[in-house]
Chain A
Amino acid sequence: MGISSKLGNLGVVTTTLETAVNWGRTGAMWPLLFGLACCAIEMMATQASDYDMSRFGMELNRATPRQSDLMIVAGRVTRKMAPVVRQLYDQMAEPKWVLSMGDCASCGGVYNNYAVVQGVDEIIPVDVYVAGCPPRPEQLIHGILTLHEKIKGERIRDWA
């Protein structure tokens, strides 16, 4: 931001293209509406009035992958569910990000058995891992803000 905005005169704002694009991407990042297990309950609490994810531009979850930017994998991914999760990820339009919420999605958690994928990063690339069983809404918001920090650091050559 230039000196003019600090003086209260918002007539002209100068910035870089990267900053403007990343500001737009982080300011209205719509998650995909789906939950797999108990972490989804905390994800719902994060969106409800107490914690209110709309403060960060996430006021609505899109129920279709075509309109989503962020996939929050909330819960354990079974091997039967894994092809479905991968297909949802493939259907999301670029740019897209994945947040692995909770221990089960991150590494299998307590479910070290034949039926559960040992970390969703075996089937889709993950940007941010959030620990906890389940994570509290503050932790999920911290994970989302961490993702915002990552996106703000992206350069034009990364996506060009």
Chain B
Amino acid sequence: MQIPAALNPVEEVKAKFGDALLHHKEFRGETTLIVNPDRLVDVMLFLRAAPGLVYNYLSDISAVDYYPNDYGDDFKSDFRPERFGVSYHIYSMLYNRRLRVKAFAAEEAPQLPSLTPHWPAANWLEREIADMMGVKFEGHPDQRRLLMADDWDGHPHRRDYPLGKETVAFSFNIEDIQKNKPIAKE
């Protein structure tokens, strides 16, 4: 069987989708494509099926919250159009190489198209992101939370989510903490 020669994914996606490829970059041998969320599913299915690319294994989906921080980092050094970035890490078993496809979701009601109807491996990965980061995936067949309780309020992996529930106890504030601590009854 003749294996077709490996093609450059950046050029192929640019030739096929044009403006839907918003940005691309190469850092330490890792290629990242930033695509328009409207064409995300099409790009992913193209990368999976096209001869010369065959990124047939969805290894991970992760989400990043580019919330402004106190360190003066305004994130202008990179292409970050919105607050939430969702990265799809795909792997080609045929050519033994990896690719990262990234899409951004707006801060107000973040939403992306779901990959699960076409790629079942995305099911729990997208549920975890919807649970912990609050990015909704439109068209996902099972939109329950994955990790936190069903009645949980908020999305804990967001940068503006409070980390702890109680103040750390020291000898100078232990009395105040004990006074406000809820103690169970029989």
A residues contacting B by CB (< 8 A) are 79-80, 107-108, 112-115, 118-119, 121-125
Contacts of A122 in B (CB 8 A): 181-184
In the complex, are the beta carbons of B182 and A112 less than 8 A apart? no
In the complex, are the beta carbons of B163 and A113 less than 8 A apart? yes
B162 to chain A: closest residue by CB: A114
| Interface bracket on B | 10 to 19
Query: Any chain A CB within 8 A of the CB of B27?
Result: no
- Neighbour of B149 across the interface among A79, A112, A123, CB < 8 A: A79
Of A79, A114, A115, A119, the most chain B CB neighbours within 10 A belong to A114
Query: Any chain A CB within 8 A of the CB of B165?
Result: yes
In the complex, are the beta carbons of B165 and A125 less than 8 A apart? no
Contacts of B183 in A (CB 8 A): 121-122, 125
- Neighbour of A113 across the interface among B148, B165, B184, CB < 8 A: B165
Q: How far is the CA of A122 from the CA of B183 in the complex (A)?
A: 5
Q: How far is the CA of A122 from the CA of B184 in the complex (A)?
A: 5
A122 to chain B: closest residue by CB: B182
Query: Any chain A CB within 8 A of the CB of B156?
Result: yes
In the complex, are the beta carbons of A125 and B169 less than 8 A apart? no
B residues contacting A by CB (< 8 A) are 148-149, 156, 161-166, 168-169, 181-186
5 contacts between A and B (CB under 8 A): A80-B149, A113-B163, A113-B165, A114-B163, A124-B184
In the complex, are the beta carbons of A108 and B166 less than 8 A apart? yes
What secondary structure prevails in chain A residues at the interface with B? loop
What secondary structure prevails in chain B residues at the interface with A? loop
List 5 other contacts, CB 8 Å, given A112-B168, A118-B165.
A108-B166, A113-B163, A114-B161, A118-B166, A122-B183
In the complex, are the beta carbons of B184 and A121 less than 8 A apart? yes
In the complex, are the beta carbons of A80 and B185 less than 8 A apart? no
B156 to chain A: closest residue by CB: A114
In the complex, are the beta carbons of B164 and A125 less than 8 A apart? no
A125 with B185: in contact, given A108-B166, A118-B165 (CB under 8 Å)? yes
Q: How far is the CA of A80 from the CA of B182 in the complex (A)?
A: 17
Contacts of B168 in A (CB 8 A): 112
Contacts of A113 in B (CB 8 A): 163-165
- Neighbour of B164 across the interface among A80, A112, A119, A121, CB < 8 A: A112
Contacts of B149 in A (CB 8 A): 79-80
Closest Cβ of chain A: how far from B28's Cβ, in Å?
A: 32
Contacts of B166 in A (CB 8 A): 108, 112, 118
Q: How far is the CA of A123 from the CA of B161 in the complex (A)?
A: 24
Q: How far is the CA of A80 from the CA of B145 in the complex (A)?
A: 12
B150 to chain A: closest residue by CB: A80
Closest Cβ of chain B: how far from A120's Cβ, in Å?
A: 8
